Each structure stands twice: as C-alpha cells, then as structure tokens.
Structure 1
Amino acid sequence: MPYSLSTHYAGQSLLDGFSFFDGKDPSNGFVDYQSREDAQAKGLVSIDEFNRVRLGVDSVNKYSPTGGEGRPSVRLTSDAVFNHGLFIADFAHMPTSTCGTWPAFWAFNAQDGGINYPAGGEIDIIEGANTAGRNLISAHTEAGCKLSGSGFTGVVESTDCGPSALNIGCNYASPIFDTTAYGDAFNAEGGGVYALEWDDEDLKVWHFPRPVIPDDIVYAGILSPDPKTWGPPQAIFGGSACDADTYFYNLSLVININFCGDYAGKVWGKADQCNLVAPTCEEWVAANPDSFIGAYWNINYIDVYNMVPILDPGIGNGTLPNNTAPPLFPNGTASTTSSPPAVLPTEAPGEAPSGTHTVTLSVVPTTFPAPKPTESDGSSTNPATINGYTLLGCFGSRGGYQTFTQMSTSPKMDNEVCVASCDGFKYAGVYDEICYCAATIGDASAVENDECDISCPGNRFEFCGGLVADFGPITPGNGVVSNSTGPSNGTVPRYHHRRAAPPNVLLTVYGNLLAEPLPAPAPGMGGRGDEKTVTVTRVVTTALTVTYTAVCPTDPARLVAVEYCTTTTLTVAEDCGCTTTPPYGANNMTAPVYALENATAPAVSAVPMCTVTETCDACGPGGASVVTLTVPEAVVTGGPEVVVTAIAVQTVVPVAAAANLTKDSNGADVVAVRAGAMGVGAFLGWGLAAWVSLFGVFLMM
C-alpha cells in the first residue's frame, strides 16, 4: 500500500504543532527547559528565511555548577499522538559533538505526562553524548521485547529492550561505514534525513546523508516515498521476539538538547576524554557557553505519512485522499516563468529560399566565479572523505587547540597533504600552510562551515581554515597569526616547532571515524518530569531469629538463652537515583553498570513479644523464686508453626535488683530472677529434655 502525507511540520507549523516542556528533566540533566515564550525571549527558538526552525541553547551566559537547574535549553513534544506511519525528518544541522551535550530526536508514550512509562515504549532515532561520532538507535519497552532477526546494517549492542538495572534497553550503533550519521560529520555534509517506518510488524530506522537522499523523499511533492526501495535499514525493532503493537503505541515525537545527566554526565571521561577539559560535566557546561554555539537543531521539515489502500479503478471513481503535499523544495521558493512560444520561419512548399542569411559568431570572455566554502545547503565544498578520514567541518578553540600539535607546513598545503601528514592520529586540522594533528579534539568545537574561507595554497578549490574576526588588532609576538600566505620555505619536518594553533585561527578538521568505538548504551529518557525520583517497590521474605531468656526446663535453678525462629514478609521501597561504576575505559567499550543509590532500607518488623511471670528454684538474686520474662507471643500461644531451637543454651547469671540491666537481642532487659514454676518452661521441657538426653548419649559413646 502507498503512503499519503498526513502532517507536514515546517516553520511555524512545526512550532504550533509541538508543546514546550518546561518541567524538571526526568534524566537528571544539568538543563533548564524553557517555555515557548521564554525560549523565544532568550533567542533559543527562531525561524530563518528558508523556513527552517532553529532550536538552540543559551550560549552566552555562565552558570553555577551547583545549585540551580542548569543551562537553558528546549524540549519539544508533538501534540499529535501516533500509531503506525512513516516519519521522515530532514535536519540541516544537529548539535555538534561537544563535551556536555546530549541531544536526541525520539518518540515515547507521553500520555498522562508519561506516568505509565515504559508502557507504550520509547524509540530513540538520533541520540549521542559528548564527542560521539556514531549514532545510537535504541528502544525501551516493558518486559518481554527483544531484538531478533536480521536484515539491518547497524551494530547490535544490547538485545533486551525491557527494564533492567542499567535502564539501557536494546540498541544499535550506526554502521562503521556511515561516518556522517551524527554530530560534526553530519553537519559538514549539510545534514541529512532520518526515516522511521512503523507498522504492525516492526519499526525500522534509516539514515541518508545529504548527497544520497532517495528521490522519492527529495521529490516527495510528486512521488510517494517507498521504503521498500531504500535498502536495508540500520535498525529493526519488532518481529517474532517483540510484537510491535503490544510494546509500541500512542507515541509522541520529541526533539531536545540535554546536558550531562544520566548519559553525558555518567560517561564523562570514561567513554570519551572530556575529563581533560574539566573534572565534571556540570563544571564544563556551566562555565563555557562558547562551546555550545553549535549546539542547535536546524530542521527543514518533519513529514508524517499514513498508509492508504490501493483503490480498484474498476469500482466507482474513488480517489486517494487529497492531503496537502509538501512543496517540491520544502524550504525554498519555486518560481516559474512563461514566455510566448518561439515562432519558426516557414516557407511555402516547393519554394526555394529567396535570400541569404549571414551568421556572425563572436567569442564572449567568461569569468568564472571564485570558489565558495559552502554549497547553497550549507554543506562544505571540501572533499567529504580523504583516505578514510571524514570531514568534520570548521573548528574553533578559545583555549588555543591545546591537544593539537603542529606537524608540517608547506606552500602546497591542502586537505589531502594534511591528512597524509596526520596518518596515525585521529584528527587532522589545517590552517593555510600549516597542518596540525591530534589524538583528541579537546576543547575545539565546530562552527559554521562558511567561516573556514581561506583557500588552500595547494588547491584553490579547497578551503584550509579561517580567522576569527573578534580577536582585535594583530601585533607581532602576541601569539595571534595574521591572514597572510604564511611561510614558503618548503615542508617543515614532522615534530618541528611543535606548538598548538593560536586561538584566533579556525581549522578545517578531518577525523578518522573508521576507528570510532561503539557508543555507550544510553538510559531511557521517557517518564514524568515533575518527580525527582521514581520509587520502585518489591516484596521480599526474610528470616528472623530472636534470642530471649527462659527458665531451664531441666534445671529450674538456672536461666538459659533460647532462640526462636520465624519468617516475615517486607515491602522494600527503593529510591532509584542511579550512579554508575563503569568497568570500562577508552579501549573497553562495554556498557556502564548502574548501582542503586539512596536505597531506602526497610524497617524490619519486630517479632511480637509479651511479658510473662514465671517461677523457678531460687534462680534469682537473693534466692528470689518469681521472675518476669519477655518472650515471643508465639511461644506463649503455641502451635505447630512455632520453632524453638536450643542450640544457644547459655546460663544467664542472675543479677542483683540494683544492678545495671543489659539488653538481649530483641532489646528487652535481662532481669534478675529468683525461682519459679514451669509455665513457659513446661512448654519447652520435652524438647529440651530430649536434646540434653541425646547429648548425654553421645558423650557416653
């Protein structure tokens, strides 16, 4: 069955079709989500001249890492609720791969504020944290849903989609060959499309980089998208091990930018090297607003399609629903011009030409326009890949690229020369004639592609970095370079003049993402935002043993300690503020292990006790024969379920009435006793007598 467009979110219709969540983040992020009014007042939300919606964060102000809610950001949830459909989202830009960030495009059952989460499920289409270079596609469901089957290109990380102590669900990492699936590389390519097809069998997710978006998506105004022609998806949820309609329903779309929290904060310095820029995620996010200039979504559109039946042309004159189609160029303007048709000269049949036509040819000088650093869609004109390195874009660093080392200079420098010079490093960055290499990106973060506008000395059709305009006048010796052609004395040997680049320099950066490790699995993001924690209860049965004092049934002149055993049922309340004790480092990318923090210890119910008066044979101080004992109620009432064990027979020495009292294991006073009758002792007599007799037989043997 073909798909028919039902909803087209773009520009104002996108903002009007989504609600702004401004409650407390359910994932414990260092974030202050804004209402629509506040977000617009702070410049976090806007619509540009191409009708693209920009969703960003505060990249101006500093905040305290302790106290307060965190850095202002946005989280949008669709008002519409969906069950099945084809969802196509075109992003021109996503938040950059920057330490502290946790952006996501996802969907979950937000009914009743998400109170029933994970009922209805959660599907994470785009998600990552900190300096990630690969996308994470996940699902979180109720117990019973697992990954199964084949036919996908992603890398499976976890197969159980249900709740667990890790709360990581089931997930796929983007395939290793898809080096533009997330973050900086995604943006350098001019963005791309993510698509989700959801039917009664499964949910499938695709990613298409900008240059290879299928025609039936590019020209969706005249073609109907057909996922069957798109090739295998990167992720599949459903199938025989997870009924799609049972575990996924009533989903709302969500777009947000989070900071730190249960993902970016927990993997800080463990799944990445962000701990090199600050000890904690919160400290970095609070104090470095410049690092989040590129932390924004630029959304071309989000289209939602419904499947419609194919009508039999022989039955009536039925037509397909006449839904409003998206424009052929969704975020541009299309214009057509018409002119009268050209009139060609005609001649009467049989007549020869009566004149002579003279044609003069002239050569018109042509001036080719200078190359530009970006295409009209914002993508860089530099090569997308060079010898396994992927273009990450134009980067700046307020700290002066402390992790980068100058590797070579050359009057013939271009991106290919620099990538070759940085063989063995993860990153290659070039400014004019100078090539820098790095193992980690450090505090460098991506800026707009068109800011790297210096033509490469060795290839004028490529661009090798740029200069920041707001560093003031350039003077000799101040560590800031001028916009000159640089030295022309040939290639400088490697490791000569090792130093970082000046802070007013912008680098065109390539990264070796073929060795990018698998992203750490992420916890679910759904649930309510108005509660700090989620209380989980469980019922446990535990054994209790009470030691108390009784008159010895075989020797009434003594008091003995006796044990009483029973069981009780407790309801345990666990306050799950999750911490992680990750067993992995940079080269051991296994999932983090979450442990319960602030677990509420259950109050152990005391065994019911009562007070009885007994007599003994002058066992108390001064020959007293009446004693008051505290014993379990069950011992007094009796019954087949009462278990009394005499394994701890111990003589209790009577004390004077004025002596200090001690406590037994149940907290009762051990009182001084004299003598007594056989009330409770008679109840215990036969069992203890049998035990003593048996013990004596063993001694004789």
Structure 2
Amino acid sequence: MYLRIPLILFLLASTSPAPSEANIVARSSKSIARAANRLHHRALKHSAGLARDLRVAFNGALLEQPSNLGNARVYCVSNPTGGLSGPAVPPPNPTSPAPPQQSQPSNGTSTSRTSPSQSSTSSGPSSTSAPLPSSPWKLLQAYQGNSFFNGWDFFTGGDPTNGQVTYVDSGTAQSSGLTEINSAGHAIMRVETTQQVPVTRKSVRITTHQSYTGGLVIMDSVHMPTGCGTWPAFWSNGPNWPAGGEIDIVEGVNDYSNNQATIHTNPGCNLAGTNEFTGTLVGGTNCAAVQTGNQGCGVRAQETNSFGAAFNNIGGGVYAMQWDNDGISVWFFPRSSIPGDITGSQPQPSNWGEPQAFWPASGCNPFQFFNSHSAIFDTTLCGDWASGVWGATGVPGQEQSCAQRTGVATCEDFIRNNGSALTEAYWEVSYVKIFQMPS
C-alpha cells in the first residue's frame, strides 16, 4: 500500500471537526505530531492498518512507505458472535473430537453432543440444520412432558416374578411421592424408601393403553433403578402370555452394568444362527418360556454403560426396538451418540448399524409368535432373578456379590431393612414414542 502526502492531508482535513486543523500543513512539526496523534486514535476505530500507515507517514517526515509493503496481507479478526465471518459455529462439546460437519453422517449417528448435566429432551435439529429425510415410520403415540402418565394403566396385582413389592395405583403412587413429573419434564417412578418395612415396599408398574403389532418403540431415559436388590425393566408383551410373546428391551438386576435383551415365546421360536448383532448370546437358542424355565433367548450387551449405575453416570441414553418382517431388533445409543433422526423424530433404523440384539424372522416368525403388545415399565425388588443371584459374581458390574457388598445374607432381609439404600432405585424417563408403518 502507498500513502501519499496529498491523500493524508485530505484525510486530515475531512476527518477532523476542528476548523484550525484545515491548515494542518502550515503548522509546526509539533502541531503536526499532535494532530497525527488525534487522528491516530480516531483511525483505530476504523482500521488498525490505516493508523499504522499514518504514523509511518508523519513520523518519517511524510515519506512514502517502502514498496515492499505493497504485498502485505490484511488479516481480519473474526467476531466470535458472527459479524463479517458469518454465523457463529458453536464450540464442540468436550466429549466430541470435532464440530459436526453435517446434520447426519452416513452411519446415522448425530455428531452433536449433550452432556449428562443437560436435559435429555431434544427438540430435534435446529432451524439452521438441513431438514431430515422423512421416515417411513409414522408416530402412533408419544408419552412425554406433563401428560406422560396419561394413557398408562397402573398395575396393582401380585408381582408375577415373586418380588418384595406391592404395586400401587396412580393416586397412591402420586400421594406417596413415587411418581411425579420433575422440573425437566421427565417422568419419575420410584420405590418406597421407608427405612424398614414389614414385608414389601410400594413400587410402580405401568402399561400402555395403546397396543401394537409390529412397530418401532423408542425410549429415552436419563436414569434407571440400580443397586443391590433392584430388578428394573422396560419391556412389552401380548395377551395370554407366553402365547402373545414378550420382548424385554431393558433388563438387569443388582449392580449389573450390561443390559440384557430377551424374548420369551410359545414353543417353536428359535434364535437362528446369526452374527448380525453386537451383543453376546446368554443361555440357549430355544426361546420357548415353558421349555427353558422362562429363560428365553437372551442377548447381553457388550457396552458396559448400557445398564445400571454406569448408564446413569453418562446421563442415560436411548433404547429402540424394531419389530418388522425381518425380525426383532434392539439398539442402544448412549447420550453422546443418539442419532439425529431419533432426536428429530424421523427415525431411520436402516442407518443405525448393527443392533445390540437381533432375533431374525428365519428362526422365529415375528408375527406368528408376537402380537398385540403393550409397553411396560416396572421395578421389582429381589424376586426370582435378583434373589437368585444375590450371592453370585462374574457378570459385568457384579465383580463382588451383593451378599458380600451389603453384609446381608439374603436379598429379602436387605430390602426390608435398608430403605436408605434404595435412593437410586428410580426411573427418570424423558419420553416413550411408538411408531408404525402405514398399512
């Protein structure tokens, strides 16, 4: 850049409001320096480069700058809130290696991150994101916010799994502080924490009015019950169990850290040889409840944060179950890896990769062994499973048995006398959504 004396004089005359500065050339060098200094302060507001050039010109006896400055680059400092640099790009979450480059990558997993301390309810992509492709799955029913408990029946019968609980009705659950909608708009379902009880503790089991044959069920949970003696589950079943089938989406006991998804059916359903899932088969391939002592066909997740305290420590996540002509699949997405099409309520299961568990139609016709399901939440205490493994170890999360950990010989004795140990035995659920394909 060249800066010549006539141009400088013109700038001085035009930018200075004082009439005496119009004759700046006739003043002494001391006056010139003072005027230049005043001009320098004004120029700083417009261009640091212009101020620098004026200083060079005046301090150098109004000489031209060296010609090699003609190639000097001009650097613009970007405004962190936008400005000339365009819309601000939010900084990446510390758990994310880089800011998202597109609304949804090829594997169907959103690169946006939500920290465990933030609310898990997501309103989907922002207004500046590219619109999500329309999903072939259409929303049938959503349970969330203040109306979450609308559309559920509160089960009050005896616990079929022989747990140390008394399931209570809606009014009792609310008046006892076992259910509520918290300030984040999440549904809370607790067990009774009175320090000592004679036999059982009050708990909650709810079942959707809405039933479905085939579908996609998505559940976002921030927290699930955990601790010795607990046995929580999110599952579904049909009429005349086991004729209508049972699909356990989330289930485990005590201090387990890896989810177990399981199906239970009438005889004739088998897990065909397949490696199209990421979990590990537990038990056999015969899914018939009556022929396996109700063991069914279970698949244990490989993710050590898919259940219990480890799940809660990451702010939870999303479980999805798809039931279609190909079979039955279950996926788990930690809070930091929930696909954008799920948060945007346009689910695209074909983009989600291998599921945690999969029971293909080739071994078990999903519309022969399963029908008319309702979704269910429950938390029982002890019961056939949690009591049965009270003294056992070897399952992820249960490196020490509950008998050793608590110093109590039986699950039932522990539950009756240690209500304060059950403060983590609660569900906190953001939403449940049920989708179906249009007929």
Q: TM-score range by the shorter chain?
A: 0.5 to 0.7
Unmatched 5+ residue regions in structure 1? 310-701
% identity of equivalent residues: 40
Task: Kindly indicate whether residue 187 of structure 2 is the aligned counterpart of residue 53 of structure 1.
Answer: yes
Q: How does 1:12-51 map to 2 (within 5 A)?
A: 12-51=146-185
Pair 304,24 (structure 1): closer, same or farther in 2 beyond 3 Å: same
1:186 to 311, 315, 319: 311
Deviations 1:363-407 (A, max 9, x none): xxxxxxxxxxxxxxxxxxxxxxxxxxxxxxxxxxxxxxxxxxxxx
Name the structure 2 match of 1:156. 281
Name the structure 1 match of 2:436. 306
Higher relative contact order (CA 8 A, sep 6+): 2
Report the CA distance between 1:94 and its aligned residue.
0.7
Q: How does 1:293-372 map to 2 (within 5 A)?
A: 293-308=423-438
Paired amino acid for 1:160? N
Task: Kindly indicate whether residue 275 of structure 2 is the aligned counterpart of residue 275 of structure 1.
Answer: no
Paired amino acid for 2:350? K
Task: Kindly indicate whether residue 392 of structure 2 is the aligned counterpart of residue 262 of structure 1.
Answer: no
Report the CA distance between 1:16 and its aligned residue.
1.2
Q: Identify, as 1 or 2, the structure richer in strand.
A: 1
Q: Distance in 1 between matches of 2:410 and 2:231?
A: 15
Q: Distance in 1 between matches of 2:372 and 2:438?
A: 20
Task: Kindly indicate whether residue 200 of structure 2 is the aligned counterpart of residue 108 of structure 1.
Answer: no
Paired amino acid for 2:287? C
Q: Distance in 2 between matches of 1:85 and 1:258?
A: 27
Task: Kindly indicate whether residue 353 of structure 2 is the aligned counterpart of residue 226 of structure 1.
Answer: no
Name the structure 1 match of 2:118. none
Q: How does 1:1-150 map to 2 (within 5 A)?
A: 2-64=136-198, 68=199, 70-96=200-226, 98-109=227-238, 111=239, 116-148=240-272, 149-150=274-275
Paired amino acid for 2:259? N
Report the CA distance between 1:150 and its aligned residue.
2.6
Q: How does 1:459-478 map to 2 (within 5 A)?
A: none
Please list every run of at least 4 consecutive aligned residues from structure 1 whose deviation after the TM superposition is greater than 2 angstroms: 11-14, 163-166
Q: Distance in 2 between matches of 1:292 and 1:259?
A: 10
Q: Distance in 2 between matches of 1:136 and 1:13?
A: 29
Other structure's SS at 2:148 match: helix
Name the structure 1 match of 2:321. 196
Other structure's SS at 1:284 match: helix
1:206 to 311, 331, 342: 331
Report the CA distance between 1:237 and its aligned residue.
1.7
Q: How does 1:487-526 map to 2 (within 5 A)?
A: none
Q: Distance in 2 between matches of 1:21 and 1:135?
A: 24
Report the CA distance between 1:71 and its aligned residue.
1.0
Paired amino acid for 1:48? N
Deviations 1:273-302 (A, max 9, x none): 111221100000111111111111101001
**Is the contact between residue 271 and residue 287 of structure 2 (CA under 8 Å) also seen in structure 1?**
yes
Q: How does 1:384-463 map to 2 (within 5 A)?
A: none
Name the structure 1 match of 2:296. 169
Other structure's SS at 1:258 match: strand
Q: Distance in 2 between matches of 1:21 and 1:275?
A: 31
Q: Distance in 2 between matches of 1:235 and 1:165?
A: 19
Q: Distance in 2 between matches of 1:5 and 1:50?
A: 23
**Is the contact between residue 255 and residue 309 of structure 2 (CA under 8 Å) also seen in structure 1?**
no
Q: Distance in 1 between matches of 2:201 and 2:336?
A: 35
1:289 to 419, 434, 437: 419
Q: Identify, as 1 or 2, the structure richer in helix.
A: 2
Q: Distance in 1 between matches of 2:353 and 2:224?
A: 24
Name the structure 2 match of 1:339. none
Report the CA distance between 1:201 and its aligned residue.
2.7
Q: Distance in 2 between matches of 1:140 and 1:185?
A: 27
Task: Kindly indicate whether residue 371 of structure 2 is the aligned counterpart of residue 237 of structure 1.
Answer: no
**Is the contact between residue 325 and residue 361 of structure 2 (CA under 8 Å) also seen in structure 1?**
no
Paired amino acid for 1:214? P
Deviations 1:565-623 (A, max 9, x none): xxxxxxxxxxxxxxxxxxxxxxxxxxxxxxxxxxxxxxxxxxxxxxxxxxxxxxxxxxx
Report the CA distance between 1:165 and its aligned residue.
4.8
Other structure's SS at 2:421 match: helix
**Is the contact between residue 233 and residue 248 of structure 2 (CA under 8 Å) also seen in structure 1?**
yes
Report the CA distance between 1:211 and its aligned residue.
0.3
Paired amino acid for 2:381? F
Paired amino acid for 1:194? Y
Other structure's SS at 1:265 match: helix
Q: Distance in 2 between matches of 1:267 and 1:209?
A: 27
Report the CA distance between 1:131 and its aligned residue.
1.1
Report the CA distance between 1:308 and its aligned residue.
3.2
Other structure's SS at 2:149 match: helix
Q: Distance in 1 between matches of 2:402 and 2:301?
A: 22
Q: Distance in 1 between matches of 2:329 and 2:147?
A: 26
Report the CA distance between 1:192 and its aligned residue.
0.2
Rg (Cα) greater in structure: 1
Report the CA distance between 1:12 and its aligned residue.
3.6
Other structure's SS at 1:196 match: strand
Unmatched 5+ residue regions in structure 2? 1-134
Pair 165,4 (structure 1): closer, same or farther in 2 beyond 3 Å: closer
Report the CA distance between 1:61 and its aligned residue.
3.6
Q: Distance in 2 between matches of 1:12 and 1:140?
A: 33
TM-score, scaled to structure 1? 0.41
Q: Distance in 1 between matches of 2:146 and 2:207?
A: 15
Q: Distance in 1 between matches of 2:140 and 2:247?
A: 21
Paired amino acid for 1:102? W
Other structure's SS at 2:253 match: coil
Pairwise CA RMSD: 1.3
Q: Distance in 2 between matches of 1:55 and 1:291?
A: 16
Q: Distance in 2 between matches of 1:229 and 1:266?
A: 39
Q: Distance in 2 between matches of 1:18 and 1:126?
A: 19
Paired amino acid for 1:164? Q
